[in-house]
Amino acid sequence: MRGAPPARIVDDIEALKREAGIAACSFVRSGMKLGLGTGSTVRYTVLEIGRRVAEEGLDVTGVPTSEATRELSESLGIPLLTLNEAGELDLTIDGADEFDPNFDLIKGGGGALTREKRVAEASRAMVVVADDRKQVGVLGAFDLPMEVVASDWEDVRDHMARICPGEVRLRGGRAPYLTDDGGYILDCEFGPTISDPESLQSQIRSVAGVVDVGLFVSICDAVVMSSSSSVRTLLKDNGRLS
């Protein structure tokens, strides 16, 4: 049986995640309204923004994508607005569970996909912070999450069972995971088959009871990617940051 990786390797991976999270801040400028993402890697981005606010006088306003990010941002003294108050954002920095060659994403492993998508769609550009394990040729090896209205989850599950080639599971089972907005999450085993994420997104969004799906199509403009030995920035051709 495969054991846990040595502590040194874990420390090295964490150090590179931190480096990638900080490197994503190279896109941040004073005066910006920022979407602040959710997850273990982008947490380092929020920490760095907080440091720059406190030590360098960086003048930014953040819109958090989860309650966890809101609490962290407030503890760091980052000024915050709701999305309704902020309107259009200059930039969102967030994580991803997968990204493909077109910079389309699967997100939602952390359960915040609906707020994450609304913030990203309100932004002039999006930067993703991820490690190279998230880079795939075709989306879908990571189970596709979707937020659903809690009272409708069984109907949505039955509908998705006719679309999804694999299992459709309620996250948390008998103790369902609750999103920040009180919804449930269904995780769908598509496997690496999602070659047309735009069409699949439209199909799933049309299902009654679906709040949103964790496909982020034509939204991401750059990926700051860590590997076992380095951190590099990938820019989407003809993207909003290229």
Distance CA 20, CA 177 (A): 29
- Let me know whether 71 and 15 are in one domain: yes
* pLDDT value of residue 7: 52
107 is in an annotated binding site: yes
Q: Which CATH number belongs to the domain containing residue 78 in this structure? A: 3.40.50.1360
Q: What is the pLDDT of residue 72?
A: 97
Same domain, 115 and 179: no
Which residue ranges of the chain lie beneath pLDDT 50? Answer: 1-2, 4
Considering the domain architecture, whether residues 149 and 131 belong to the same structural domain is answered as: no
Distant-in-sequence, close-in-space partners of 185: CB < 8 Å, separation ≥ 6:
108, 111, 145, 146, 147, 148, 170, 171, 172, 176, 177, 179
pLDDT in the model for residue 236: 97
pLDDT reported for residue 1: 43
Helix (H, G, I), strand (E, B) or coil at 230: coil
Same domain, 131 and 154: no
In a domain, 12, yes or no: yes
78-129 residue pLDDT tens? 999 999 999 999 999 999 999 999 999 999 999 999 999 999 999 999 999 9
CATH code, domain carrying 149: 3.30.70.260
Both 67 and 131 in one domain: the answer is yes
Using CB atoms within 10 Å of the CB of residue 96, give its burial: 0 to 12 exposed, 13 to 18 middle, 19+ buried. Answer: buried
Is 94 marked as binding a ligand? yes
Number of domains into which the chain is organized:
2
Question: Which contiguous run of DSSP H or E holds residue 223?
Answer: strand 222-226
30 is in an annotated binding site: no
Same domain as 123, residue 22: yes
Helix (H) or strand (E) run with residue 126 in it: strand 126-131
C-beta separation of 117 from 212 below 8 A:
yes
Task: With 0.75 as the threshold, say if the pTM is over it.
Answer: yes
CA 87 – CA 93 distance, rounded (Å): 17
Joined together, the tokens standing for residue 148 give: 């659903």
Q: Is 35 annotated as a binding residue?
A: no
Catalytic annotation, pick one of 48, 98, 116, 147: 116
**Do 159 and 101 share a domain, yes or no?**
no
Q: Is the dihedral of CA 38, 43, 47, 48 positive or negative?
A: negative
Residue 104 marked in a binding site: no
Residue 241 covered by a domain: no
Nearest CA to 25 among 52, 4, 1? 52
Q: Is 19 a catalytic residue?
A: no
Q: Examine residue 115 and state whether it is found in any structural domain, yes or no.
A: yes
Q: Is position 39 annotated in a ligand binding site?
A: yes
Provide the token pair at 66: 């989860």
| 65, part of any domain | yes
Q: Which two tokens stand for residue 153?
A: 């989850």
Residues 150 and 44 in one domain: no
Domain that holds residue 93: 7-135+218-227
Residues 43 and 100 in one domain: yes
**pLDDT on residue 229:** 82
Confirm or deny that 110 is annotated as ligand binding: yes
In a domain? residue 89: yes
